Amino acid sequence: MSLTAPRARRRVGALVAALALSALLTACADDVVCPIDTSPDVQPFISARVVEANGARGDTTWVEVRAAADSLPTLLFVSINDRQINDVAVDGFELVVSLEEGVVLWQPGSPCSLKVTTNYGFASSSEPVPSGFAVSAPETILLGDPLALSWTAANGADYYVVRGTLEGDGIGDEITATVRDTAVTIDAGAIPFTGFVRGHVEAVAGPFPEIGSGGNIGGAGRGFFTVAYNDPASVFEVAVADTGRR
């Protein structure tokens, strides 16, 4: 199963605001010194995610970085390993930059160094790209049974995300789970009809997504930076068969 990266839902703001933002970004790109708000109590929230997928049908690098504050940031510069990401959009009270390319830009084991500049200052973080790993899954389960998945540990990973779809009778139900362990059991209630469960597991470096979790972005900003990896060995397909009971 090839990765389909989630796309940002962009609610573009007023035309005047967008034109003003574009003009400011262009000016900053021309080496004009941009204003920095040095107020000590202003800490924009930054959410940054990198997904590297080495898929059987092709490779993908997907990046999304969001910066939010009580007042919409007036600029957002983002680079990862000194590669500038320039596609900036307005989404409500956030600025968003995104990147999608048909190649794995940062290989397993390499660091991903994030640098973010807003009008509030400079923030940064770094996480490694996790290594490859192998998923084990049964070929078939019976309807009404849970689904047990396990996998080898990935170097550099802090947790794992299971992403799957139950497909059958022309419909599909999403199945997801986020765990620190190298195994998970999907409840039978999440598999309500026969068909096939197809999906993959992502190894993720970064803070575990839970209430109270501390962020890993420092400097003039707070928030979370994660780096995920999956490849053909992390893919699974399980048939869900009828029990034959009537």
User: Residue 245: its pLDDT value, please?
Assistant: 56
Same fold: 15-128 with 135-215+231-241 = yes
* CA torsion angle 166 170 171 174 (round to 10): 30
Residue 18, amino acid: A
pLDDT tens-place string over residues 176-187: 999 999 999 999
Dist CA 51 CA 227 (whole Å): 6
Higher pLDDT, 87 or 9: 87
Confidence of residue 35 (pLDDT cuts 50, 70, 90): very low
Give the pLDDT mean for 182-195: 94
pLDDT tens-place string over residues 104-136: 999 999 999 999 999 999 999 999 999 999 999
Domain assignments of the chain as residue spans, ordered by start: 15-128, 135-215+231-241
User: Which residues lie below 8 Å from residue 17, measured CB to CB, with a gap of 6+?
Assistant: 72, 90
pLDDT tens-place string over residues 65-90: 999 998 888 899 999 999 999 989 99
Whole-prediction pTM value? 0.83
> C-alpha 78: how far from its chain's center?
16
15-128 has which fold? Immunoglobulin-like (2.60.40)
Class of domain 135-215+231-241: mainly beta
| Choice among 124-138, 170-184, 191-205, 227-241 with the minimum mean pLDDT | 170-184
Q: How far apart are the first and last CA of the chain?
A: 33
Dist CA 212 CA 152 (whole Å): 28
Kindly tell me the sign of the dihedral angle through the C-alpha atoms of 2, 234, 240, 192: negative
| Choice among 115-119, 164-168, 216-220 with the minimum mean pLDDT | 164-168
Cα angle 183, 186, 190 (rounded to 5 degrees) comes to: 165
pLDDT over 70 for what percent of the chain? 81
